[in-house]
Structure 1
């Protein structure tokens, strides 16, 4: 059973952002499933790596979009991204060092942060980008 269900309530109305968020929700649910199924440390490590890598990619895409449309709340939004990357990096480091296991508390933190960020900050970004000519397609970072 998923910890987060992707549905219209999480859509922000911007195609690229919504596609990314749907994939992030899938990865979070995969992490939760592997935790519930008591998968091996290597299996959890793999899915956690994938979640971190994709979140980093997604944030970079959003940051390009924010610059492109001159999003007025960019600084605050970037600070939230930095917090998440820093915190999930700490979780990963502790997990790899064996000083902290993936727990329901950690997965709940990830879920709560993601849902809150999408429903508040990214909704604002999606609406602003759509209204100000932000391309609804995936941006090439190269």
Structure 2
């Protein structure tokens, strides 16, 4: 059973972002399934690596989009991405070192962060990018 269901409530209205988010939700659900099925540490490690790699790729693509459309809330958005990458890196490091296991608390943190970020920050970015993509950026030099 998935921990997050991809549906219209998570769509932000930007094709690339929505495709990426759908894949992130799939990877989070895969991580949750591996955890629930009590798969080997290697299986859980592999899916966690995939989730981190894809999140990093997705954030980079969003950041390019923010730059392209001169997204006014980019700094705050980037700070959220940095926090997530730092936190998930800590989780991965502790897991690989054997000092911490992947727990339901960690999976819940990942789910809550992702759903909140999508439904708040990415919804704002999606609307702004859709409205401003392809338009020339006007810079007031006065």
Give the TM-score normalised by the residue count of structure 2: 0.94
| Correspondence 1:85-96 to 2 at 5 A | 85-96=85-96
Alignment partner of 1:71 is 2:71: yes
Q: Describe the SS at the equivalent of 1:6.
A: coil
| Correspondence 1:28-67 to 2 at 5 A | 28-67=28-67
Instruction: State whether residues 65 and 129 of structure 1, in contact with CA within 8 Å, keep that contact through their aligned partners in structure 2.
Output: yes
Instruction: State whether residues 65 and 134 of structure 1, in contact with CA within 8 Å, keep that contact through their aligned partners in structure 2.
Output: no
Partner residue of 1:102? 102
1:131 Cα shift?
0.4
Paired residue total: 135
Supply the distance in 2 between the matched residues of 1:133 and 1:40 (Cα, whole angstroms): 45
1:67 Cα shift?
0.1
Give the TM-score normalised by the residue count of structure 1: 0.94
Partner residue of 1:18? 18
Partner residue of 1:140? none
Supply the distance in 2 between the matched residues of 1:69 and 1:76 (Cα, whole angstroms): 16
Partner residue of 2:83? 83
RMSD: 1.0
1:20 Cα shift?
0.1
In the alignment, structure 1 segments of 5+ residues that lack a partner are 136-142
Larger Rg: 2
Q: Describe the SS at the equivalent of 1:42.
A: helix
Runs of 4+ in 1 over 3 A off after TM superposition: none
Supply the distance in 1 between the matched residues of 2:98 and 2:59 (Cα, whole angstroms): 28
Partner residue of 1:112? 112
